[in-house]
Amino acid sequence: MTRPPEQSGPLHDVAVVDSLGADLRAAGFTTDAVSDLLGADADAAFARGVWWPALRATDRAPRDREALAVLVRLLLLGADEPRARVDTAFPTSGADALVANGVLATTARGTLRAALDIRPHGDGQRDLVVVSDLDSALRDGAVRRDHVLGIGGASVSLARAVVRNPVERALDLGTGCGIQALHLDAHCADIVATDTNERALTLAAATARLNGMSWDLRCGSLFEPVDGERFDLIVSNPPFVVGAGARDYIYRDSGVVGDGLCATLIRQVGAHLEPGGTAHVMANWIVREGGDWRERVSGWLADTGLHAWVVQREFADPVSYVSLWTSDAGEPPEQAARRGGEWLDWFAEEGIAGIGMGMIAVRAPRAGEQRPPDCVLEEITAADEVVTGVEVDAFFARREYLHRTTDEDLLGARLSTAPVFLDEQSLPGPDGWQVVGAAVRRPGGPGAVIGVDEVSRALFAGCRGEVPLGTLIELLAAHHGVDADALATAALPVVREAIGRGIVYQAR
């Protein structure tokens, strides 16, 4: 069941949460309605962080959408509003109750402004609402130590990467405002959500109730709150920021030196997965001078027995990394400069060249499965190569197929080539353009590209699900005047790599 909010602090009164939800629904506080109210240009500008067109649009809202306009100005744009307008927009809850429950605050001028971030969120099928703390752009000075982060780039990336197959039990480790649990609710029967931050659990409880959901909310670090329990699916956007071990802000700082929290999480997660279960973890890892990030993260996975796909999406040098997190907290310049300098000094002492940032997806072996752990670590940074839940699930399925399919079986299989592009690189020469390189690429597939030569490009073109692979190789061998067995020996590793990247697949 959902953990009841504390008797003090934000949204501690369940009746106020319910009346707030009624007012939000009555005003039509959804992503589509807000976009429609602002108009395409102002909405696009707001998405880029330019707010004044949105303020202008809400000033001109028609009377039948005045309540929605007030909600947008208060909750999304950080504007002050007269109490009379607030009471009109919140007829069920009322301004006084919202102030008493930490949703709104009274300014020195007697107007009201938001004290919490409450915003609409859509998952493609449902209109949802998320409650968090105001980010640094909407508040004076640094955020609270127990600041509860709202919807951000990392949380969106994680939600997009989670496999959405229906399961019984799911764990959201480090739930924060509850954004991952919101998405899990669509395909998981039971959800346990944990956090070390009591304020986060209070706001997550409000998020759950506003959306008519019920989660088992527990306080504690890592897997302590679920000791001895197993889950079909685990997701985690933990406080992964790499530092000297201070805990200045709970949402980002684990209190563990370096990347130790992420290492511990990965080493322990297998003990809490059901056979065949999947876990998705957002993580940062140290990259030392002259070191390879793959060796570091593969060390976390060693002896876990888990299959894994690790994708490094970004690499940040120390200055960029520290600047990102000091600005994120909204600290005054002098404080940020002092903290940032100490942080950089620690990086230098540790010989840290930068920080890798990415996603770790692991899958526990199925019951009775005998194959050894299969771990792939790669760097995929292109903006159009997004790691999605569909791609993660397909990745693990392809790796399992490759393990159970012998070369003899593969030669007898009818293969098809997915919709792909052939990209060629050419240089001008005495006889015109000369091809110096070529690759087959599956659009949108993360890491879904493979270099090809004249033979392999012809082989992939011939994979239409009509004849066995061995027959295609024999035809190509005859055409090029080479030994068929030798060509098969050379072609099979290329075909296996293409299957692993979703470029070629076995036809039904």
List pLDDT tens digits, range 161-171: 999 999 999 99
Q: What is the pLDDT of residues 303-328, one digit of tens each?
A: 999 999 999 999 999 999 999 888 87
Average pLDDT on 244-256 reads 91
SS3 per residue for 256-294: CCECHHHHHHHHHHHHHEEEEEEEEEEEEEEEECCCCHH
Which CATH code, of 3.40.50.150, 3.30.2130.30, 3.40.309.10, 2.60.120.1600, is assigned to 115-395? 3.40.50.150
d(CA 177, CA 200): 6
Instruction: Say whether domain 405-506 belongs to CATH 3.30.390.
Output: yes
Q: pLDDT band at residue 81, thresholds of 50, 70 and 90?
A: very high
Q: What are the tokens at 379?
A: 């760097």
The domain ranges of the chain are: 1-114, 115-395, 405-506
Q: What are the tokens at 60?
A: 């001109």
**Global confidence as pTM:** 0.94
Residue reference for tokens 């197993």: 230
pLDDT at 364 over 80: yes
Tally of CB atoms within 10 A around 62: 9
Q: pLDDT band at residue 139, thresholds of 50, 70 and 90?
A: confident
Q: What are the tokens at 349?
A: 């002492």
d(CA 113, CA 83): 10
pLDDT at 6 over 70: no
User: Helix, strand or coil for residue 346?
Assistant: helix
Tally of CB atoms within 10 A around 48: 7
pLDDT at 8 over 70: no
Average pLDDT on 336-343 reads 91
Q: Are 122 and 110 in contact (CB under 8 A)?
A: no
What pLDDT was estimated at residue 4? Answer: 52
pLDDT at 351 over 90: yes
Q: What is the pLDDT of residues 253-284, one digit of tens each?
A: 999 999 999 999 999 999 999 999 999 999 99
User: Helix, strand or coil for residue 468?
Assistant: strand
pLDDT at 462 over 70: yes
Q: Are 2 and 214 in contact (CB under 8 A)?
A: yes
Q: pLDDT band at residue 2, thresholds of 50, 70 and 90?
A: low
End-to-end C-alpha distance for the chain, whole angstroms:
44
Q: What are the tokens at 35?
A: 């976009």
What pLDDT was estimated at residue 125? Answer: 87
pLDDT at 301 over 60: yes
* CA torsion angle 442 448 453 459 (round to 10): -60
443-452 burial: b if 16+ Cβ within 10 Å, else e: eebbbbbbeb
Q: Are 498 and 410 in contact (CB under 8 A)?
A: no
The mean pLDDT of the chain is 93
